[in-house]
Structure 1
Amino acid sequence: MTPPPKRLLLRRSLSASLSLALAAFGTAAAVVLSSAPPARAAGVPAPSPLAVPGRGATVPFKEQEAEYATTNGTLIGPNRLYGTLPSEASGRQAVTLDAVGEYVEFTLTAPANAMSFRYSLPDSPDGTGRDASIDVRVSDGAPKSVPVTSKYGWYYGGYPFNNNPGDTNPHHFYDEARTMFGSTLPIGTKVRLQVSSTAASPTFTIDLADFEQVGAPVGRPSGALDVVSDFGADPTGATDSTGRIQAAVDAGRAQGKEVYIPQGTFQVRDHIVVDKVTLRGAGPWYSVLTGRDPSNRSKAVGVYGKYAADGGSSNVTLKDFAIIGDIRERVDNDQVNAIGGAMSNSVVDNIWMQHTKCGAWMDGPMDNFTVKNSRILDQTADGVNFHYGVTNSTVTNTFVRNTGDDGLAMWAENVPNVKNKFTFNTVILPILANNIVTYGGKDITISDNVMSDTITNGGGLHVANRYPGVNSGQGTAVSGITTAARNTLIRTGNNDFNWRFGVGAVWFSGLNEPINATINITDTEILDSSYAAIHLIEGATNGLHFDNVRIDGAGTYALQIQAPGTATFTDVVATHIAQSNPIHNCVGSGFQITRGSGNSGWYSDPPACTGTWPDPVWTNGGVPGGGTDPTDPPTDPPTDPPADPGNIALGRPVTESGHADVYGAANAVDGNANSYWESTNHAFPQTITVDLGAPKAVKRVVLKLPPATAWATRTQTLSVSGSADNSSYSSLKGSAGYVFDPADGNTATITLPGTSARYLRLTFTANTGWPAGQLSELEAYTS
Structure 2
Amino acid sequence: MTAPPNGRSLRQALAATVSMALAAAGTLVAVALAPEAHAAGVPAPSPVGISGRGATVPFKEQEAEYAATNGTLIGPDRLYGHLPSEASGRQAVTLDAPGEYVEFTLTAPANAMSFRYSLPDNAAGTGRDASIDLKINGNQLKSVPVTSKYGWYYGGYPFNNNPGDSNPHHFYDETRTLLGSTLPAGTKVRLQVSSTSTSPTFTIDLADFEQVGSPIGKPSGALDVVSDFGADPTGAADSTAKIQAAVDAGKAQGRAVYIPQGTFQVRDHIVVDQVTLAGAGPWYSVLTGRDPVNRAKAVGVYGKYASQGGSKNVTLKDFAILGDIRERVDDDQVNAIGGALSNSTVDNVWMQHTKCGAWMDGPMDNFTIKNSRILDQTADGVNFHMGVTNSTVTNTFVRNTGDDGLAMWAENIPNVKNKFTYNTVVLPILANNIVTYGGKDITISDNVMADTITNGGGLHVANRYPGVNSGQGTAVSGTTTAARNTLIRAGNNDYNWQFGVGAVWFSGLNEALDATVNITDTEILDSSYAAIMNIEGATKGLHFENVRIDGAGTYALQIQAPGNASFTNVTATHIAQSNPIHNCVGSGFVITRGTGNSGWYADPPACTGNWPAPQWTNGGVPGGGTTPTDPPTDPPTDPPTDDPTVNLAKSRPVTETSHTDVYPASKAVDGDANSYWESANNAFPQSVTVDLGAAKAVKRVVLKLPPATAWATRTQTLSVLGSTDNSTFTTLKASAGYTFNPPSGNTATVTLSGTATRYLRLTFTGNTGWPAAQLSELEAYTG
Structure 2: distance between partners of 1:77 and 1:631:
8
Aligned to 2:733: none
Deviation at 1:629, TM superposition (A): 13
Q: From 540, 550, 554, give the equivalent of 2:538.
A: 540
Aligned to 1:324: 322
Aligned to 2:61: 63
Alignment of 1:151-162 (within 5 A): 151-162=149-160
Structure 1: distance between partners of 2:629 and 2:546:
32
When structure 1 is superposed on structure 2, of 270-279 and 50-59 the one drifting more is 50-59
Say whether residues 1:37 and 2:36 are aligned partners.
yes
- Call closer, same or farther: CA 1:122–1:115 in 2, change over 3 Å: same
Structure 2: distance between partners of 1:158 and 1:35:
40
Structure 1: distance between partners of 2:38 and 2:186:
20
Deviation at 1:491, TM superposition (A): 0.1
Aligned to 2:27: none
Aligned to 2:88: 90
Equivalent pair of 1:36/1:70 in contact (CA under 8 Å): no
Q: Which amino acid aligns with 2:470?
A: S
Q: From 565, 579, 586, give the equivalent of 2:577.
A: 579
Q: Which amino acid aligns with 1:62?
A: K
Equivalent pair of 1:24/1:51 in contact (CA under 8 Å): no
Aligned to 2:455: 457
Partner of 1:250, secondary structure, is: helix
Alignment of 1:535-684 (within 5 A): 535-626=533-624, 633=633
Partner of 1:451, secondary structure, is: strand
Aligned to 1:240: 238
Q: Which amino acid aligns with 1:72?
A: N
Structure 2: distance between partners of 1:562 and 1:251:
57
Q: Which amino acid aligns with 1:37?
A: E
TM-score under structure 1 normalisation? 0.76
Q: From 157, 171, 174, give the equivalent of 2:172.
A: 174
Aligned to 1:274: 272
Aligned to 2:299: 301
- Call closer, same or farther: CA 1:631–1:407 in 2, change over 3 Å: closer
Equivalent pair of 1:39/1:75 in contact (CA under 8 Å): no
Partner of 1:625, secondary structure, is: coil
Alignment of 1:338-377 (within 5 A): 338-377=336-375
Q: Which amino acid aligns with 1:600?
A: S
Equivalent pair of 1:485/1:521 in contact (CA under 8 Å): yes
Aligned to 2:481: 483
Equivalent pair of 2:341/2:367 in contact (CA under 8 Å): yes
Deviations 1:578-636 (A, max 9, x none): 0000000000000000000000000000000001100000011135433699996579x
Aligned to 1:407: 405
Equivalent pair of 1:338/1:356 in contact (CA under 8 Å): yes
Deviation at 1:223, TM superposition (A): 0.4
Aligned to 1:257: 255
Structure 1: distance between partners of 2:630 and 2:125:
40
Structure 2: distance between partners of 1:246 and 1:582:
58
Partner of 1:288, secondary structure, is: strand
TM-score under structure 2 normalisation? 0.76
Deviations 1:306-351 (A, max 9, x none): 0000000000000000000000000000000000000000000000
Equivalent pair of 2:576/2:622 in contact (CA under 8 Å): no
Q: Which amino acid aligns with 2:370?
A: K
Aligned to 1:732: none
Aligned to 2:700: none
Equivalent pair of 1:39/1:74 in contact (CA under 8 Å): no
Structure 2: distance between partners of 1:551 and 1:339:
37
Structure 2: distance between partners of 1:120 and 1:208:
11
Structure 2: distance between partners of 1:48 and 1:528:
12
Structure 2: distance between partners of 1:42 and 1:577:
23
Structure 1: distance between partners of 2:326 and 2:593:
50
Partner of 2:157, secondary structure, is: coil
- Call closer, same or farther: CA 1:24–1:142 in 2, change over 3 Å: closer
Aligned to 1:138: 136
Structure 1: distance between partners of 2:6 and 2:417:
35
Equivalent pair of 2:376/2:401 in contact (CA under 8 Å): yes
Aligned to 2:515: 517
Q: Which amino acid aligns with 1:535?
A: M
Say whether residues 1:472 and 2:502 are aligned partners.
no
Deviation at 1:52, TM superposition (A): 1.4
Q: Which runs of 4+ in 1 moved over 6 A?
A: 628-632
Aligned to 2:189: 191
Equivalent pair of 2:46/2:89 in contact (CA under 8 Å): yes
Q: Percent identity?
A: 84
Equivalent pair of 1:427/1:452 in contact (CA under 8 Å): yes
Say whether residues 1:210 and 2:208 are aligned partners.
yes
Alignment of 1:690-701 (within 5 A): none
Structure 1: distance between partners of 2:365 and 2:624:
46
The number of residues matched between the two structures is: 605
Q: Which amino acid aligns with 1:498?
A: N
Equivalent pair of 1:447/1:486 in contact (CA under 8 Å): yes
- Call closer, same or farther: CA 1:64–1:629 in 2, change over 3 Å: farther
Partner of 2:97, secondary structure, is: coil
- Call closer, same or farther: CA 1:614–1:485 in 2, change over 3 Å: same
Q: Which amino acid aligns with 1:121?
A: L
Structure 2: distance between partners of 1:62 and 1:630:
32
Q: From 146, 150, 154, give the equivalent of 1:148.
A: 146
Deviations 1:176-213 (A, max 9, x none): 01000110000000000000110000000000000000
Structure 2: distance between partners of 1:114 and 1:446:
32
- Call closer, same or farther: CA 1:68–1:184 in 2, change over 3 Å: same
Q: From 76, 86, 100, give the equivalent of 1:78.
A: 76
Structure 2: distance between partners of 1:114 and 1:415:
43
* Structure 2 unmatched ranges of 5 or more: 8-32, 636-783
Structure 2: distance between partners of 1:267 and 1:553:
48
Equivalent pair of 1:393/1:421 in contact (CA under 8 Å): yes
Q: Which amino acid aligns with 1:395?
A: V
Structure 2: distance between partners of 1:406 and 1:563:
23
Equivalent pair of 1:74/1:96 in contact (CA under 8 Å): yes
Q: From 121, 125, 134, give the equivalent of 1:127.
A: 125
Structure 1: distance between partners of 2:221 and 2:183:
36
Structure 2: distance between partners of 1:414 and 1:394:
20
Structure 1: distance between partners of 2:587 and 2:202:
53
Q: Which amino acid aligns with 2:438?
A: G
Structure 1: distance between partners of 2:202 and 2:472:
50
Equivalent pair of 1:405/1:432 in contact (CA under 8 Å): yes
Equivalent pair of 1:77/1:93 in contact (CA under 8 Å): yes
Structure 1: distance between partners of 2:344 and 2:445:
22
Aligned to 1:767: none
Q: Which amino acid aligns with 1:250?
A: D
- Call closer, same or farther: CA 1:629–1:525 in 2, change over 3 Å: farther
Deviations 1:708-763 (A, max 9, x none): xxxxxxxxxxxxxxxxxxxxxxxxxxxxxxxxxxxxxxxxxxxxxxxxxxxxxxxx
Equivalent pair of 2:361/2:388 in contact (CA under 8 Å): yes
Structure 1: distance between partners of 2:61 and 2:39:
19
Equivalent pair of 2:39/2:67 in contact (CA under 8 Å): no
Deviation at 1:140, TM superposition (A): 3.4
Equivalent pair of 1:24/1:47 in contact (CA under 8 Å): no
Deviations 1:262-307 (A, max 9, x none): 0000000000000000000000000000000000000000000000
